[in-house]
Structure 1
Amino acid sequence: MSNGVGIARAYPNMALVKYWGKRDEAMMLPAAGSISMTFDTYATTTRVELDPTAQSDTVELNGQVAGGDAAARVVAFLDIVREMAGSQSRAHTVTVNEAPTAAGLASSASGFSALAVAASRAYGLDLDQAALSRLARRGSGSAARSVVDGMAIWHAGDTDVESFAEPIDAPDMRLVIVTVNAAQKAVSSREAMRRTAATSPFYGEWVTCTEETLERMVAACASGGVDEIGRIAETHALRMHAVIQSCDPPIRYLSPRSHEIFDAVAALRDAGTTAWATADAGPNVAVLTTPAEADAVAGALADLGTVRVVGPGHGARAIDEETARAAFDAARSGT
């Protein structure tokens, strides 16, 4: 915290037990808990600088002035921070995403966790990890988990205080990200969650299933069985996409290429490789495997999309101006 400026870096996460549905949209309380791995790549870097003379907030995203819903969500989040800090000062926010925005690779998770750290520092708040997780959750539910290093469990809770993420022990694992389409998806996760909860005849059972799955995943992480973790994750991902497809009108995030990757992963598994597929709300697929097998899995899937091996990474944290400058300069120059 210094001179009304805060700078932070955060990374996306991939849920192995999915978050899909809210019990309280205003407070962003999930219908059930979830578990995820924070990445060590695809960073979001965010700088917030207060300007007491400004009449409104400004938002820059990836080198361009942001407007519409993207800017409105940042301003709404800053309003929450201002209320916490007892401040009326407006702010200039600059953000760079290395991951594709709104393509099913959790850019909102890294975005709002980085914003939570940067804005809290700029406005002079001294928040511990649990408080930062609660704050990040107000911007995007999955951002609650990107505050945490490595594997995180997000407790659903019944109140704001009870709903936060914290670390959970798990074996060392890798995810092979297979990007098949980096374009922004037609239906946002937020809208799709609303539609699923309002129109799917299976939504209630989905919530119950998620609560039961979370218990099994906690046990699997504690026992250290990567295959059991993968089996649970793949099953739960397919169930999530099934309930999304059951809403009215239906939403289909997985593409034919996505299904092809799931099939290729099953073939790898049949041949003796540790490989289990999962996908968030988008067409891109993540394949859970061991560190020793990650490069081989990536090689086997290279013809199906752009592949990158990611491991468990740091949660959101403050960084200095010099560290951030390269990311901002690259975005503004288009490189």
Structure 2
Amino acid sequence: MERLNQTSSVSEFILLGLSSRPEDQKPLFILFLTIYLVTITGNLLIILAICSDSQLQTPMYFFLSFLSFTDICFTTTIVPKMLVNFLSKKKTISYAGCLTQMYFIYVFGYTDSCLLAVMAFDRYVAICDPFHYVTTISHQCCVLLVAFSCSLPHFHSLLHTLLLNQLTFCDANVIHHFLCDISPLIKLSCSSTFLNEIIIMTEGTVFLVTPFLFIAFSYIRILIAVLKIPSAAGKHKAFSTCGSHLTVVALFYGSIFYVYLQPVSTYTVRDHMATIVYTVLSSMLNPFIYSLRNKDLKQGLRKLVGRRKPQAAPS
């Protein structure tokens, strides 16, 4: 970052946030503080329930626990800074802080994407090749898939962060957003952004679309296999195991495609709501989506809460 500090007059950025009206700041603070606390609590309960219930020690829940952990990290990268800015008159973030936030947003966002693809693969094997499920989705395989999902996004995020670090920012330092994202930052640069935009539209698109295509392919195969099941009860059971995952995929990818599969020059304030969906709301809703539609997970949560109640009674 030394190079940029020598060629740029910008040492910090101003995040305009969701609203510039003073009367909106406290209500927004309360709203997002509530969302953040619900997100942390919900995802922690999912992790604790999976770790404490022997019936949930399966690959599907192993992946879900890491998805919940990633969601906690993802929302923590974004919401605390939003909360500080809601109560602060000077809504600034340092240059280094901005790039750091952007780096981890991409890391945890794309880790979510990879984990959703891994979970689709797990469902594909469970439904389309159930007799080889135990050997195909072994514990070693699960660990490798999670390790791959958590490490690969760092290379992608590092590439875009380093390329952004080569840009020069002259006087404009106002980001029309509530977080440091690559599109509004590129629009602020006074140097050529051609390489950045080419990389975003090529490498970025491939990295984003590939997991989604993998998920789509898995569910096409699942659909074909389920339609061959003769009984209606068998079809319903097969679809019920995939319903929660499909809902999460639709929520996450629907909003993220809306934001990123468009030219950088067309990025506007209207994209804020879509960004909130995949960065904040998705992480909050995932525990509810999975627990409400999954009997085993609901039972695990009841056991977890039931164990806590007797401990609190004597005091």
Whichever structure has more strand as a proportion of its residues is 1
TM-score bracket relative to the smaller structure? under 0.3
For normalisation by structure 2, the TM-score amounts to 0.28
Larger Rg: 2
Whichever structure has more helix as a proportion of its residues is 2
For normalisation by structure 1, the TM-score amounts to 0.26
